[in-house]
């Protein structure tokens, strides 16, 4: 059996990873914002920070992981689908801006 501290950490990670399945008309603003913060804002903040060090060296790679939900929508996961679709376009914008610096995305 895992020690209590590890069980709590594991439970906390599972809670963050869990996506509520609910129709868009029922998605609370808090749940919407959580999906955007987790799947989009986090990638932006990390990508920007990495790029600030990577671009002056004219080398490096940033890998953003999207989902099949980027192109396919399913009922009850609209917030997740929107965040992943926007992440794809954020990655395209990063590529357009930073390609001249020999950065790979």
> According to the model, what pLDDT value does residue 15 have?
46
Q: Flag whether 53 is in a domain.
A: yes
The model's pLDDT over 2-24, given as tens digits with 9 standing for 90+, comes to: 676 666 666 555 444 455 689 99
Q: Is residue 14 part of a domain?
A: no
Alpha-carbon torsion (47, 49, 55, 59), positive or negative: negative
Domain membership of residue 49 as a residue range:
21-101
Q: Is 80 one of the annotated active-site residues of the chain?
A: yes
Q: Is residue 48 part of a domain?
A: yes
Question: Which is the catalytic residue, given 47, 80, 84, 90?
Answer: 80
**How would you label 1-38 residue by residue, b for 16+ Cβ within 10 Å and e otherwise?**
eeeeeeeeeeeeeeeeeeeeeeeeeebeeeeeebbbee
State the sign of the Cα–Cα–Cα–Cα dihedral 11, 17, 21, 26: positive
Q: Give residue-wise pLDDT tens across range 35-79.
A: 999 999 999 999 999 999 999 998 889 999 998 888 888 899 999
* pLDDT the model gives residue 13: 52
Evaluate whether residue 83 is within a structural domain: yes
pLDDT tens, 19-43?
568 999 999 999 999 999 999 999 9
Structural domain count of the chain: 1
Q: Is residue 61 part of a domain?
A: yes
CATH number, domain with residue 69: 3.40.50.720
**What is the token pair recorded at 29?**
């603003």
């Amino acid at each position: 059996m895992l020690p209590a501290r590890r069980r709590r950490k594991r439970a906390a990670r599972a809670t963050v990873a869990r996506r509520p399945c609910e129709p868009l008309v029922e998605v609370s603003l808090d749940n919407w914002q959580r999906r955007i913060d987790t799947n989009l804002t986090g990638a932006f903040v990390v990508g920007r920070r990495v790029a600030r060090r990577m671009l002056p060296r004219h080398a490096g790679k940033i890998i953003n992981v999207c989902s099949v939900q980027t192109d396919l929508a399913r009922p009850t996961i609209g917030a997740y689908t929107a965040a992943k679709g926007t992440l794809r376009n954020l990655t395209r914008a990063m590529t357009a801006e930073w390609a001249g610096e020999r950065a790979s995305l």
